[in-house]
């Protein structure tokens, strides 16, 4: 190749570009190698178990029941219900084993003792076999027994004992995770309002403030959607035709609903209102009784009306 004036610079540039590219490839490959090393000491779900249950199985249960429709987990999920990332560390396996199968009510001290005495997995996992030592190890359990309330917004989910064990393994895993400081100190606006939803009796005083807010003119459909979100309805109900823990709301309004008794009922305002306030009065065919929490003490008449209007808008 002849080389007239100046044109020989071109191959030189190309060479430098190739050398730079080659260097970057080497850096890329070396760093990719590092990402496979367990150098940050992070735990993985495959390493954590509770009895014979694995944390990764529990993760599937957690997803299948859509717990994040109400709860936060490592920064994701909803804010209706408490963050569960460090729940195991706080309350321990015995409290969880007593709570999860009948979550509508809080466990008593007796219920925790029963778990410690009768479940070898638990005594072994906790490393203690009496309630005093258990409280020392998991102070959150004592605190929960003391702040025990009657019923809660946490639904009684139909968890098998297998699934309860798997969920405990999963919560044990999230407690062991290095979350780099998550969850932070909570400074949630409206925290009192949210707590009052979960503990209606304890905070009747907060109700006055909520009423005042409702006085502002707002689009009832939008308000209904917001209320349904705030109250965890979407943990169990889809707005399209998907079947979740509860029936879907898509095309529900005005339809004929088949009940477990074999009869049908028209999905009008009265029926929907009753379904929200006293869900067990009529059970939809194919669904279980006792699953949906009764919202009669949580929602005002106007709030229920707004939710019904929202469901109507999905017709």
221 binds ligand HEC (CB under 6 A): no
Q: State both tokens at 315.
A: 């017709």
Least Å distance, CB 29 to ligand HEC, is 41
Sign, Cα dihedral of 12, 16, 22, 25: negative
71 binds ligand HEC (CB under 6 A): yes
70 binds ligand HEC (CB under 6 A): yes
Give, as ranges, the residues between 89 and 128 that touch ligand HEC (CB under 6 A). 91, 96, 99, 103
Closer by beta carbon to ligand HEC, 15 or else 288: 288
Burial class of 150 by CB neighbour count within 10 A (0 to 12, 13 to 18, 19+): exposed
168 binds ligand HEC (CB under 6 A): no
55 binds ligand HEC (CB under 6 A): no
Closer by beta carbon to ligand HEC, 116 or else 267: 267
Report the alpha-carbon distance of residue 79 to residue 88 in Å, rounded: 19
Whether the ω angle into residue 211 lies within 30 degrees of 0, i.e. cis, is no
Distances (CA, A) of 55 to 59, 100, 162, 164, 308: 6, 16, 12, 11, 39
Per-residue binding letters, 10-49, with ligand HEC (x by CB under 6 A): ----------------------------------------
Report the alpha-carbon distance of residue 143 to residue 145 in Å, rounded: 6
Is the distance from CB of 252 to CB of 308 less than 8 angstroms?
no
Give the residue among 186, 138, 152 at the shortest CA–CA distance from 70: 152
Per-residue binding letters, 235-274, with ligand HEC (x by CB under 6 A): xxx-------xxx----x----x---------x----x--
Per CB under 6 A, residues contacting ligand HEC are: 62, 65-67, 69-71, 80-82, 84, 87, 91, 96, 99, 103, 144, 149, 152-155, 157, 167, 198-199, 228, 231-233, 235-237, 245-247, 252, 257, 267, 272, 275-276, 279, 283-284, 287-288, 291-293, 295, 307
């Amino acid at each position: 190749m002849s080389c007239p004036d100046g044109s020989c610079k071109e191959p030189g540039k190309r060479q430098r570009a190739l050398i730079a590219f080659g260097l970057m490839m080497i850096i890329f490959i070396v760093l990719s190698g590092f990402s496979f090393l367990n150098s940050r000491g992070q735990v993985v779900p495959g390493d954590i178990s509770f009895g014979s249950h694995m944390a990764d199985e529990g993760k599937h249960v957690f997803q299948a029941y859509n717990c994040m429709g109400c709860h936060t987990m490592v920064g994701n999920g909803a804010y209706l219900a408490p963050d569960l990332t460090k729940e195991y560390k706080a309350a321990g396996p015995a409290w969880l084993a007593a709570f999860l199968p009948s979550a509508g009510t809080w466990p008593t001290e007796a219920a925790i003792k029963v778990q410690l005495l009768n479940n070898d997995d638990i005594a072994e996992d906790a490393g203690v076999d009496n309630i005093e030592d258990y409280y020392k190890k998991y102070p959150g359990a004592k605190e929960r027994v003391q702040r025990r309330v009657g019923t809660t917004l946490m639904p009684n989910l139909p968890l098998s004992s297998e699934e309860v064990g798997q969920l405990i393994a999963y919560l044990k895993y999230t407690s062991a995770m290095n979350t780099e400081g998550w969850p932070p100190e909570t400074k949630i606006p409206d925290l009192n309002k949210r707590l009052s939803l979960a503990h209606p009796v304890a905070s009747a005083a907060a109700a006055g403030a909520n009423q005042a807010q409702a006085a502002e003119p707002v689009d009832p459909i939008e308000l209904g959607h917001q209320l349904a979100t705030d109250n965890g309805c979407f943990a169990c109900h889809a707005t399209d035709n998907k079947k979740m823990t509860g029936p879907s709301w898509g095309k529900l309004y005005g339809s004929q609903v088949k009940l477990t008794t074999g009869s049908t009922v028209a999905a009008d305002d009265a029926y929907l209102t009753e379904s929200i306030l006293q869900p067990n009065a009529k059970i939809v065919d194919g669904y279980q009784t006792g699953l949906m929490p009764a919202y009669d003490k949580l929602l005002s008449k106007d709030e229920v009306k707004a939710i019904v209007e929202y469901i109507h808008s999905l017709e």
